[in-house]
Amino acid sequence: MKKRKIGMALSMVLTAGTLLGACGKADDNGGEKGGEKKDNFSVAMVTDVGGVDDKSFNQSAWEGLQNFGKENGLEKGKGGYDYIQSKSDADYATNLNTLVRQDFDLVYGIGFLMQAAVEEIAQQQKDAHFAIVDAEVQQPNVASILFKEQEAAFLAGVAAALTTKTNHIGFIGGMEIPVIERFESGFLAGVKAAKPEVQVDVQYAGAFDKAEVGQSIASKMYSSGADVIFHAAGATGNGLFKEASDRKAKAPDKDFWAIGVDRDQADMGPEIVLTSALKRVDVAVQDLATKAKDGNFPGGEIVLYGLQEDGVGLAPINDKVANKADIESAVKDWIEKIKSGDVKVPGTREELKSFSVK
């Protein structure tokens, strides 16, 4: 994701340690939280099967590491910042071990799918520091990064509901795991809050690296009348953008809107990308690396990012949307309600059942 200005609120909150909590003093066991401040700090990550150029989750994480590297005068490679791309889930543990053996000071496992591998290697390599995104690993040498994805997805749902002309929209999920359930639940809640009569088709691809499956699902949804589709499916979602772009090229006067995820995916099609549900993985990865470098590694803790912390949000609405101003106004109002606590966005299907806005 292109480098963006980090909100002052996020900087203040993280600096104050509200999310990270009090970090312990350096210990003889280098794997526990805290540690000594280091001038020459190296950091690396292992991608899940989506790959580092998935235009979404892994790419955002890698951009966060690149930003950290540039900020600290590091070069790509051993002793600086780097990544290893996993071709299958069988690679996860091996790749994590490889980076530890290369003496990187902090090693990230990117994605929920890497939870078991990080758990395993963290127990074996107790003096190493690890961080995992989108999962919790309860080990003293692992920091767990989680997001309130449902809040960003809620705003995307509001935007989708106020954009659709057919009252028919879609949601494409990657795999049915808690992270994507949060996206789905928040999105459906946002649609319900903004325009209850809108129909939402929900379908899962069963993978994060199958663009052809994402395109097939999108094709069926558009053909059935949907004119806005939101994906939370990693590289699988690239198929959504291709389908929307292909259809728009053939029928320029019709709407085939797509909503991106994780990073601002406007670059996937200026004619078809309505907005994106932002999940600032880049911000989280860069911030945690900075904390660790400064001797404040939050081992054994959860770092949580939501709207209140500017860790999630909504990308700009496409200028080509006729009622852009109305959508922006509505989104702003809902942001204020969520931040104030007046609205609690559901993060599970069970919570969604009882969700209502008076």
Predicted confidence pLDDT, tens digits, the chain (358 residues):
433 333 333 333 333 333 333 333 333 334 455 666 667 899 999 998 888 988 888 999 999 999 999 999 999 999 999 999 999 999 999 999 999 999 999 999 999 999 999 999 999 999 999 999 999 999 999 999 999 999 999 999 999 999 999 999 999 999 999 999 999 999 999 999 999 999 999 999 999 999 999 999 999 999 999 999 999 999 999 999 999 999 999 999 999 999 999 989 999 999 999 999 999 999 999 999 999 999 999 999 999 989 988 889 999 999 999 999 999 999 999 999 999 999 999 999 999 999 998 6
Distances (CA, A) of 221 to 190, 217, 233, 357: 19, 6, 16, 28
The residue behind tokens 């004619």 is 271
**For the chain, what's the residue count?**
358
List 129's β-bridge partners, or say none.
106
Query: In sequence order, what are the residues at sequence separation of 6 or more whose Cβ sits closer than 8 angstroms to the Cβ of residue 224?
Result: 168, 201
Judge whether 159 and 198 are in contact, CB under 8 Å.
no
The reply to whether 8-147+280-309 and 149-279+319-350 are identical in fold is yes
Q: How high is the pLDDT of residue 80?
A: 98
Q: How high is the pLDDT of residue 120?
A: 98
The residue behind tokens 């660790």 is 292
Q: How high is the pLDDT of residue 15?
A: 38
Residue 52: exposure state from Cβ atoms within 10 A (0-12, 13-18, ≥19) = middle
Q: Say which CATH superfamily domain 8-147+280-309 falls into.
A: Response regulator (3.40.50.2300)
The distance from CA 336 to its chain's CA centroid, rounded to whole angstroms, is 21
Could you tell me the residue ranges of all domains in the chain?
8-147+280-309, 149-279+319-350
Predicted model pTM: 0.81
DSSP string, 184-241: HHHHHHHHHHH-TT-EEEEEE-S-SS-HHHHHHHHHHHHHTT--EEEEE-GGGGHHHH
Domain 149-279+319-350 of CATH type 3.40.50.2300 = yes
Q: How high is the pLDDT of residue 153?
A: 98
One-letter amino acid at 314 equals L
Alpha-carbon gap, residue 49 to 346, rounded angstroms: 28
Judge whether 60 and 279 are in contact, CB under 8 Å.
yes
The distance from CA 274 to its chain's CA centroid, rounded to whole angstroms, is 18
Tens digit of each residue's pLDDT (9 = 90 or more) over 135-186: 999 999 999 999 999 999 999 999 999 999 999 999 999 999 999 999 999 9
- DSSP-derived letter for residue 78 is T
The residue behind tokens 């290369």 is 102
- DSSP-derived letter for residue 21 is -
